[in-house]
Amino acid sequence: MKRMLSRIVVASGLLLGSSVVSLAYAADVAVAKPDAAKGEQLYANGDPARGILACASCHGAAGNSTIPANPNLASQPHEYLVKQLVDFTAKDDKTPPARRGPGGANSVMTAFATALTAEDKQNIAYYLTQQAIDPEAAATASNEATMERGQHIWRGGLPDRRVPACAGCHSPNGAGVPGAFPRLSGQHPAYIAEQLKLFRSGDRANNAIMHEIADRMSDADIAAVADYAAGLR
């Protein structure tokens, strides 16, 4: 009983730590008040003078991506988006970004995020968090063969492998938790699966909890829960 309580306390501490880290990242690049209008300008048009491409070219109008490899960003938590933009950026010449691509190579986002100032990151994130999810652009579940398996993992986890229920952090309907955990409902299954694999390999090293969870999941587990999450509303 004591061992079980200890595990619960440790797990709770890790989850709380994740939220604190997320907020800390946001604080590190804090500005007086994010400007959604400036964020929209950068998102929609970029800034050629600074070599900043329009985010919309990959992530769609108002953050509603129609490209499976690129995530939907509309209505994501502001703090979460800021943290990701910070994590795509290397802190110095000797330290690689916390978010990398397969094999440890820099993500395509590294070049884009590096060109942004701390204020830019806050503004773009603030703009995106206010955007509505376009039901026409949102992804949905499509693999009936894995639906039951995906639902099982989302709602109950995989206790035999110490994989917690996804719903515990990302909410039962996949809406996520503002300031802590991203929305996964309507997210592209291919993107969710890719991120879980990057967490598993350690190439995406910006969330120790997700590394531990993904490390205990098979490719089949990942595919099933990614497809199921996409269909949540």
End-of-domain residue from the set 129, 162, 190 = 129
DSSP state of 48: G
Question: How many independent structural domains does the chain possess?
Answer: 2
* Side-chain half-sphere CA neighbours of 31 within 13 A: 16
pLDDT of residue 91: 92
Rounded distance, CA 164 to CA 8, Å? 12
Side chain identity at residue 12, one-letter code? S
> Could you tell me if 40 and 98 lie in one domain?
yes
The per-residue pLDDT string of the chain (233 residues; one tens digit each, 9 = 90 and over) reads 434 333 433 333 333 334 434 444 444 444 579 999 999 999 999 999 999 999 999 999 999 999 999 999 999 999 999 999 999 999 999 999 999 999 999 999 999 999 999 999 999 999 999 999 999 999 999 999 999 999 999 999 999 999 999 999 999 999 999 888 999 999 999 999 999 999 999 999 999 999 999 999 999 999 999 999 999 99
**Residue-level length of the chain:** 233
**Same domain, yes or no, for 23 and 122?**
yes
Q: Identify the pLDDT of residue 226.
A: 98
Do 43 and 117 lie in one domain? The reply is yes
Single-letter residue type at 69: A
pTM of the model: 0.86
> What is the structure's pLDDT at 13?
37
Question: Whole domain around residue 173: which residue ranges?
Answer: 144-230
pLDDT of residue 179: 85
Decide if 7 is inside a domain. no
Residues 124, 154 within the same domain: no
Residue pair 158/212 in contact by the 8 Å Cβ criterion: no
Indicate whether 103 and 166 sit together in one domain: no
